[in-house]
Amino acid sequence: MLLSHLVIINACVPLVIITLHNNVIGIIFFGIMIKVNIQEVAVRQGIKTAYQLQKLMSLQPSVASRLFNNKLTMISFGTLDRLCDALDCVPADLIIYTSDKPKAEKLRVEKPAREPQTVKTVGTGETMLTTNEAGERLGLSRKRVNDYIISGELPSVKGKQGHNFIRESDVEEFKKKRAVSP
């Protein structure tokens, strides 16, 4: 079933996302915040005309002209993928974000720096670490720490919201075991 969804980004960039059977197949841009840069990338690759782009990608002449002359209001991910293959580039080379509005009009809310989540257990007073903090101390990613927890190699305690907390002493012990292991 073909569906479209209107999406507003930052109250400035209205988009219509087109889906077919729950797969995004295209985006329609409204406004001037997002532009395409296909002609510049094509020229850098030695493609100087819409006709050359048409022959390279086996496109209809009208489609090649719209692509080459940056006259798009919509581009499908399939077309974007084919363009990237043909022009040996990435989507970020072809689609650029611009803003004609003065900087003062842009409102950005800065998030406060996150406080470390290290907590102490009520009963023992031992320091408990989040999986991120344990990963930093062990030189591992949070995912890898979770893998060790799941395998039972690193003991943990579940918090009220289901997050894993690891005793600091368990992290240090695990660190020593890993240093000894080949």
pLDDT for 115 equals 56
Query: What's this model's pTM, rounded to 2 decimal places?
Result: 0.40
Q: What is the mean pLDDT of the chain?
A: 76
pLDDT for 8 equals 44
For 26-38, write each residue's pLDDT tens digit.
555 555 567 788 8
pLDDT for 18 equals 61
Place of tokens 């409204």: 30
Domains and CATH numbers, the chain: 2-101 (1.10.260.40), 119-175 (1.10.1660.10)
The answer to whether 131 and 164 are in contact (CB under 8 A) is: yes
Using 70 as the pLDDT threshold, list the residues of the chain that sit under it.
1-33, 98-124, 180-182
Helices 142-151, 131-138: axis angle to 10 degrees equals: 100
Q: Which of 95, 88, 118, 116 is nearest to 33 (CA)?
A: 95
Q: How far is CA 162 from CA 45, 70, 122, in A?
A: 52, 49, 18
Q: Which of 23, 10, 15 is nearest to 101 (CA)?
A: 10
For 147-179, write each residue's pLDDT tens digit.
999 999 999 888 777 888 888 889 999 988 887
